[in-house]
Structure 1
Amino acid sequence: MCLGIPGRIVAVADEEAMLCVVDVSGVRRTVDVVCVATPDAPLDTLVGRWVLVHVGFAMSVIDEDEAAATLKVLTEIGEAAAEMEALASGSLDPLATPAA
């Protein structure tokens, strides 16, 4: 099962393509932020914000307490490890080249 996992936006990767770098428990990946970006605002306003990441997209902005609680629940139900493995392998990276 692929669930959303909290991560903190740490950098803008490509403003024009709406991509930012998200840190999820030490694993960094480029994600699409089109769903959470404010129209006409620079993407760097998102740096430092927590987001819920699902299949390479930041789906919603969440606060730090919600991020911690969600990571705790995912760990307790055993889903955090699978999500972290998917992030580490790059399978959730929208810039990753599909395997042949």
Structure 2
Amino acid sequence: MCLAIPAQVVELRPDDNALVDLAGVKKEISLALLEGVAVGDYVIVHVGYALNKLDPDEAARTLRLFAEMGELTPDGDGFTVH
């Protein structure tokens, strides 16, 4: 099963790419499917592509659910990925 996860955009890069952060894990992804993404936005990431933007409150709720499932652990500054 594949999973799409919320991640925060920390840097915009050339060619419709961005660097995102999830619990300190940084990954370059494609923004080719979206318009108007800015640093600080949360996006849903699946197989290296941002699928849509996500409200920060919804991102926080989703990350808390992952934490409840034991996939992420709150660490004071965000979450730790397991």
TM-score bracket relative to the smaller structure: 0.7 to 0.9
Q: Offset at 1:65? A: 0.7
In the TM superposition, what whole-angstrom CA distance separates every residue of 1:59-79 from its partner, at most 9, and x where no partner exists? 110011111111111222344
Q: Which has the higher helix share?
A: 1
Q: Is the 8 A contact 1:37 1:46 kept in 2?
A: no
- Structure 2 residue 11 is the aligned partner of structure 1 residue 8: no
TM-align CA RMSD: 1.9
Alignment of 1:58-97 (within 5 A): 58-80=50-72, 84=81
Percent identity, aligned pairs only, is 37
What SS does the aligned partner of 2:10 have?
strand
Which residue of 2 is the match for residue 42 of structure 1? none
Q: Is the 8 A contact 1:19 1:31 kept in 2?
A: yes
Which residue of 1 is the match for residue 45 of structure 2? 53
Structure with the bigger RCO (C-alpha within 8 Å, sep 6+) is 1
Structure 1 portions without partners, runs of 5+ = 39-44, 86-100
TM-score by length of 2: 0.77
Amino acid at match of 1:52: I
How far apart, in 2, do the equivalents of 1:60 and 1:11 lie? 17
Q: Offset at 1:4? A: 1.0
Aligned residues between the structures: 75
Q: Is the 8 A contact 1:18 1:32 kept in 2?
A: yes
Which residue of 1 is the match for residue 77 of structure 2? none
Q: Which has the higher strand share?
A: 2
TM-score by length of 1: 0.65
